[in-house]
Chains A and B, each alone.
Chain A
Amino acid sequence: MQKNLRLHYDISGDDYTRAGEASAQLKQVLRQLGLSSSIIRKVAIAMYEGEINMVIHANGGTIDVEIDSACISLVLRDTGPGISEIDLAMKEGYSTASENVRSMGFGAGMGLPNMRKHSDYMKLESTPGVGTTVHMKISIGEE
């Protein structure tokens, strides 16, 4: 790849059936760029979990993706309720998801741990009442 590729996605907060569409689109782009399937898988999982979180916990938001020759950077921003105890939220199994969300197959409390596991760098910033921003980087190149 010669120059950096920047992509922006607006994530709607009121349509659960569309949650994941942005991740599916990015996955398509990465395929066209010819990235390896294991890198694509990592990005897809990390972004999809983040996208779902935005929809189910924060009423939507935005995702900015930057791809250069060394890595794929994702920035997920929302103006939802925020997370007061980040350490707790990062624990496997911790979830405040509603019954409705659980009935859709989410709410296992695995999303954030999964995002950490599949990214090479992750930073979660959140202020209760203001919103949440998640930064993730996945390196291309070495597997």
Chain B
Amino acid sequence: MTIAEIVDILDAKVLSGEELLARDVHSACGSDLMSDVLAFVKDQSVLVTGLTNAQAVRTAEMMDIICIVLVRGKIADSGMIELAKDRSVAVLQTQHSMFAACGLLYERGLRGGGKSHAKKS
């Protein structure tokens, strides 16, 4: 799906990255712990999170994540949007909770992807 479709599905507001809306994304992850994202994420391109700071963008940048979805209508720090614009990371804001946002995207076909998704113990 495209980032534009995510905007549509989550009834989201685009805070940065209008020019990225046509980009394709294949899988997503949801977390408020950046170290978890750094430890377990593999080739996901969307991060659903409640974190509203510049570090979320830095983490995205390290992991080649091109779209961050802020849940529960959280307000992004000014530093976050500034950095996101500079690094070409789309930041979307939705009123949905983390659980609902992930559920809605999953329902529409976005998956967790990577190995962590199907880890067997």
Q: Could you list which residues of chain A lie within 8 angstroms of chain B, going by C-beta atoms?
A: 16-17, 19-21, 23-24, 27, 37, 41, 44-45, 48-49, 52, 104-111, 113-114, 117
Q: Give how many B residues have a beta carbon under 8 Å from the other chain's beta carbons.
A: 22
Please determine whether B64 and A37 come into contact, CB atoms closer than 8 angstroms: yes
Q: Could you list which residues of chain B lie within 8 angstroms of chain A, going by C-beta atoms?
A: 32-36, 38-39, 49, 51, 53-56, 58-59, 61-64, 79, 83, 87
Assembled-state Cα–Cα distance A45/B8 (Å): 32
Please determine whether B33 and A108 come into contact, CB atoms closer than 8 angstroms: yes
Please determine whether A20 and B55 come into contact, CB atoms closer than 8 angstroms: yes
- Which chain B residue lies CB-closest to A23? B62
Known contacts A104-B53, A105-B53, A105-B55; decide if A20 and B62 are in contact (CB<8 Å): yes
List, sorted by A's number, 13 A–B pairs whose CB atoms are closer than 8 Å. A16-B55, A17-B55, A17-B79, A20-B62, A27-B62, A45-B38, A48-B58, A104-B51, A105-B49, A108-B33, A110-B38, A113-B39, A114-B38
Please determine whether B35 and A114 come into contact, CB atoms closer than 8 angstroms: yes
Q: How far is the CB of B39 from chain A (nearest CB, A)?
A: 5
Assembled-state Cα–Cα distance A56/B46 (Å): 26
